[in-house]
């Protein structure tokens, strides 16, 4: 197996296990068993578990943001594009293997002891905030609206993860509608 294939297999296994069971409960032996990549090869690719966690979060970030953008780009109306963010969250929360936000989970497990994991979580949340800020700007809304929308989305992520329900996305969407109407009425 070449390096690219081994890396992808290891990351596929890491994502399934880290997201499904939690990072601290999964060892490199678990990744080896689930991926079929030898332990020696695994350590050649990722000299530390922390580097594997970081690579998992980076790869997941790309996929997550792409799925979000794909959903948003289906709409032309700037306000509908903002609300599509919450529609995407609802779809994500309804997936059978949904276990909350991978970056919030990783930060909760390792943020205090792993600067690399903390940096990845911050980078993801900043990228999400920048994405929302772009939508807010395109809709002609005050810049602070991006902060408010992000808080709604992040709160929905945590609540959905804890309660295993897609309903927090719908509730956050309803709150976003109210915020957008209030902002438009005073703008």
Distance separating alpha carbons of residues 136 and 132, to the nearest angstrom: 6
CB 83 within 8 A of CB 173: yes
Burial class (CB in 10 A: 0-12, 13-18, 19+), 135: buried
The pTM score is: 0.94
Cα distance between residue 47 and residue 71, in whole Å: 36
Q: For tokens 């109210």, name the residue.
A: 178
SS3 annotation, 33-84? HHHCCCHHHHHHHCCCHHHHHHHHHHHHHHHHHHHHHHHHCCCCCHHHHHHH
- Please give the pLDDT value at position 6: 96
Average the pLDDT over 146-169 and give the result.
98
Q: Where are the alpha helices (DSSP H) in the chain?
A: 3-21, 28-35, 39-45, 49-72, 78-93, 102-110, 115-138, 144-163, 167-185
What domains sit in the chain, N to C, each tagged with a CATH number?
A: 1-47 (1.10.10), 48-185 (1.10.357.10)
Encode pLDDT of 41-98 as tens digits.
999 999 999 999 999 999 999 999 999 999 999 999 999 999 999 999 999 999 999 9
């Amino acid at each position: 197996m070449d390096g690219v294939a081994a890396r992808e297999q290891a990351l596929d296994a890491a994502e399934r296990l880290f997201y499904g069971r939690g990072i601290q409960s999964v060892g490199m032996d678990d990744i080896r068993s689930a991926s079929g990549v030898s332990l020696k090869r695994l350590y050649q690719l990722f000299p530390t578990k922390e580097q594997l966690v970081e690579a998992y979060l980076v790869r997941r970030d790309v996929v997550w943001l792409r799925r979000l953008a794909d959903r948003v780009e289906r709409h032309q109306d700037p306000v509908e594009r903002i609300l599509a963010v919450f529609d995407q969250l609802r779809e994500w929360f309804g997936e059978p293997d949904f276990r909350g936000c991978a970056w919030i989970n990783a930060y909760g497990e390792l943020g205090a002891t792993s600067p690399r994991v903390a940096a990845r979580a911050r980078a993801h949340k900043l990228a999400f905030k920048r994405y929302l800020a772009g939508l807010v700007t395109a809709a002609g809304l005050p810049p602070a609206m991006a902060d408010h929308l992000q808080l709604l989305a992040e709160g929905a992520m945590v609540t959905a993860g804890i309660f295993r329900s897609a309903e927090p996305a719908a509730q956050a969407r309803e709150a976003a509608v109210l915020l957008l109407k209030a902002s438009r009425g005073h703008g």
